[in-house]
Amino acid sequence: MAAASNFRELEATNRRETVILTAVFILLFGALGFGLDFAARDLYLDNGHLAGFPALTIAALVFGSIQSLVSFYGGSSLVLLSVHARPLTADTPKHQIVLDVINEIAIAARMPAPKPYLMDDPSPNAFATGRDPAHSVICVTQGLVDNMDREELQGVIGHEMSHVADYDIRTMMMIAVMVGGIAMLSDFVYRWMFFGGFGGRGRDRNDRDGNAAALITIAVVILAAVAPIFSQLLAMAVSRQREYLADASSVEFTRNPRALLRALQHIARIESPLKAGTAGTAHLFIVNPREGLKDDNEGFFANLFSSHPPLQKRIERLQAMLGAAGAATMAAEAARGATSGTS
């Protein structure tokens, strides 16, 4: 009952965070549109008062709202399309094992089994996406299927099932799609600037109003440069916070801390980037898909620009959990021995 309560609390927290993150992204869209209105002279200052019609601001807000709806209802399909994933079928014994493990972990988690997908990539990796457990997907790479044994697959699938159970998939899926939208709008700002969109029509204004409008134009150019970076850092920060929790929840689902520990150690030895890894989807995967793990350190800036916490640190935490589980088992066995000795 306590576990169910914790999952309900996590679901409520992630619902709130999804709303907040969506609002932040829409505000970024609106800010870029507001600046574009000044740049295009649709908005202007007249004797210190704002005048004109904010056509581009409205267009940007509408675009951001549509982007959020697309993210919510169709984000998983867009993510799967971007990584060239296809439905996973039982066409080989190894693929059948993956399907069996997904069903087993779903039963253990008391959730509907996510739809299985496969990426034809030799790098061992996996991710989960969707808007809720009833519309969830778990995607594994061919490299994961080929390199992991059943126990290791259980650890990885348990980790991804945790993201499904606590609704991480919704937050991370929406971030993945909306980060792309911010990048696209920022690119539009720069194209507008370079192709003459920042001149043109305007009205006669006094020097003070003209200077203020110029400052706003400069501000939107800076915002266009910073917004994609900010949104990417936001996605990475949210992802890092959730990986440790998903590691722990994998142990809860599999009742085996050794499973995910062995899988992460195995992945660390291979150190191969994913061919279809992109900046917008990197935070979805169980390990960073865009680079090898040789630079996996814990420096401030290294972590700031990483979509995942250091893999070695995750391994150490699982080792500590395995040690604690072993100590608990020994204590239980000792207690049973003492009880049988006195009877």
pLDDT(228) > 60: yes
Confidence tier at 1 by pLDDT (50, 70, 90): very low
Query: Phi then psi for 128, rounded to 5 degrees?
Result: -125, 150
Which residues are paired to 96 by β-bridges? none
pTM: 0.72
pLDDT of residue 304: 57
Determine the average pLDDT of the residues in 265-273. 84
pLDDT of residue 123: 92
Longest Cα–Cα distance in the chain:
100
Q: What is the mean pLDDT of the chain?
A: 77
Work out the percent of the chain whose per-residue pLDDT is above 70. Answer: 73
Determine the average pLDDT of the residues in 14-41. 77
Are 14 and 166 in contact, with CB atoms under 8 Å apart? yes
pLDDT(105) > 50: yes
Dihedral of CA atoms 6, 9, 13, 19 in degrees, nearest 10, equals: 130
DSSP label of 114? P
The catalytic residue positions are: 160
Q: Which of 241, 95, 96, 251 is nearest to 158 (CA)?
A: 251
pLDDT of residue 3: 43
The better pLDDT of the pair 201, 26 is held by: 26
Determine the average pLDDT of the residues in 281-290. 82
Work out the percent of the chain whose per-residue pLDDT is above 90. Answer: 24
